[in-house]
Amino acid sequence: MNDATARVRLESMLSELDRSIGILRGDPASPRDRSAADAGSDLVDADRNQAMLEVAARHRRSVLEALRRIDDGCYGLCVDCGRSVPEGRLEARPEASRCVECQSRRERRR
Ligand SMILES: [Zn+2]
């Protein structure tokens, strides 16, 4: 995947995330769909909302970082070991910043 393709995909992910974050925050400009939320209390709903918001915010940050790496000309290289991230991984996750080994090493450390 070349940088231009990656940028287009990342930018569309970014606007998608912005939209979801707006909905999760209860932005009045993007009314929430209440039909799926009729079960469960408002409290549970708010907790789940908060969790989803955190996931979306984290994802948004990694998308922004990937866009910055495109600007810096180091997109597609693992930020830890500097080897190129496999094409298939970038296809699945264009915002991936690490190769599989470095990512799993990092996740084990947590
Ligand atoms: Zn690596």
Q: What are the pLDDT digits (tens) for 32-67?
A: 555 555 555 676 788 889 999 999 999 999 999 999
Asked if 110 contacts 101 with a C-beta cutoff of 8 angstroms, the reply is no
Cα(81) to ligand 1 centroid in Å equals 4
Number of H helices, E strands in the chain: 4, 0
Asked if 90 contacts 62 with a C-beta cutoff of 8 angstroms, the reply is no
Residue 31 banded pLDDT, cuts 50, 70, 90: low
Cα(57) to ligand 1 centroid in Å equals 24
Instruction: Determine what percent of the chain is predicted with pLDDT higher than 90.
Output: 75
pLDDT of residue 1: 80
Rounded to two decimals, what is the model's pTM? Answer: 0.79
Q: Which two tokens stand for residue 86?
A: 């496999």
Cα(39) to ligand 1 centroid in Å equals 44
Cα(79) to ligand 1 centroid in Å equals 7
Q: Which two tokens stand for residue 41?
A: 């209390």
pLDDT of residue 32: 53
The whole-angstrom separation of Cα 52 and Cα 41 is 17
| More confident position, 88 or 32 | 88
* Over residues 7-34, mean pLDDT: 84
Q: Give the range among 9-23, 35-49, 74-88 with minimum mean pLDDT.
A: 35-49
Q: Which of 110, 107, 101, 109 is nearest to 80 (CA)?
A: 101
Cα(85) to ligand 1 centroid in Å equals 7
pLDDT of residue 45: 82
pLDDT of residue 110: 67
Q: Which two tokens stand for residue 33?
A: 């769909």
Cα(67) to ligand 1 centroid in Å equals 18
Cα(106) to ligand 1 centroid in Å equals 10
Cα(69) to ligand 1 centroid in Å equals 15
The whole-angstrom separation of Cα 9 and Cα 16 is 11
